[in-house]
Amino acid sequence: CHLIHYLRLSHHLIVLNYLICTFDKLKSVSSEDINITDAVFDGVEVRVFEPPARGDERLKRSVVYIHGGGWALASARTSLYNNLCRIMAESLNAVIVSVEYRLVPEVCFPEQFHDAVRATKHFLQPDVLAEYSVDPSRIAISGDSAGGNLAAAVCQQLSKEEHLTVRPKLQALIYPVLQAFDFNTPSYQQNMNMPVLPRYVMINYWIDYFNGDYDLAHSLLINNHTALDVGQALSFRGRLNWTSLLPSSFKKNYKPVIQTTGKAEIIQEIPALLDVRAVPLLAENETLQLQPKTYILTCENDVLRDDGVMYAKRLENAGVEVTLDHFHDCFHGCMIFTIWPTDFSAGIQTRNSYIRWLDENL
């Protein structure tokens, strides 16, 4: 894929997504009991999963789900996410709306955020909820990885819009990516070469999302963009101080990497690195206080572990009820790997725990 990109034949992410979708066509997922339809919500494609009516039941609960893939890969229509949403619809007897936001490199930040917000706000309209027989008081916003990033950003945005008549009851974030401020948190250091999502791959996803230059990767890796002499980053430093936000069991013996002098031009070139719509962990406390009851799933073998743990702590400090569901023996992305030949016990374990929490709280 990278060779094709280097030869300017195509962007490597386009090629990789093509390969993923081609392989995906080899799989089939049964959905006899769930009505699956594709729709367009305010210009954004979605896939809706509706369970059959049960007796005299009138209104169902619902989850707006935003898939992962580094803002660049996968789809609401792939078998992995199709299977997850179908099982959610069956297990919860809920209407699941899976958002098919546009991907890198077709569009970059903030378009993925705008797509997710538009689709969610459209669904939250009372007449649309009535069309799908959804209870307005029992709606969750959820997503995994980059989708968890978008779900958190959507919840923050909705909390600021005073005119909304329907708001999510819950947010559920699965190993979310929430910050690009510090690429040397203990989990980034501990899992820097972990398969599925090594540190350099996550940094490249961020660069792609912001349409930045790969030449900046090394400077980001050593936190040059948030050095002490980078004035734009100073006001955010206290919101992401992992030495105070993480428990000692996560901090272990790792030390902070804070450069004295760095490169302020990085923030000038990519201001989105400090944009809370892209990095929800940097939101101010006033915004966090408005967030709904929250579930955050994290995995020990994941560079993003501390993103989720720090967000849980900041939300808790802001007075939000939070459930942090940490799995010591699991890895990034595991929850969607439940279909042969990638049917891992870690996937079943995390998915069941996630659905159980939704069932008990939604």
CA distance 67 to 19: 18
CA distance 35 to 93: 12
Q: 332 catalytic, yes or no?
A: yes
Instruction: Give how far Cα 25 sits from Cα of 18, 75, 334, Å.
Output: 11, 13, 20
Question: Which SS3 state, helix, strand or coil, does residue 294 take?
Answer: strand
Instruction: Give how far Cα 279 sits from Cα of 115, 151, 282, Å.
Output: 17, 11, 6
Q: 5 catalytic, yes or no?
A: no
Paired tokens of 69: 């893939």
Paired tokens of 234: 């100073």
Q: 12 catalytic, yes or no?
A: no
Residue 62: Cβ within 10 Å count: 29
Cis peptide before 136 (omega within 30 of 0): no
Paired tokens of 226: 């948030």
Paired tokens of 292: 């709904």
User: Which is the catalytic residue, given 62, 142, 145, 159?
Assistant: 145
User: Which is the catalytic residue, given 302, 306, 307, 325?
Assistant: 302
Match 């179908």 to its residue by tokens. 86
Q: Which of 336, 352, 342 is nearest to 76 (CA)?
A: 336
Supply the residues annotated as catalytic: 145, 302, 332
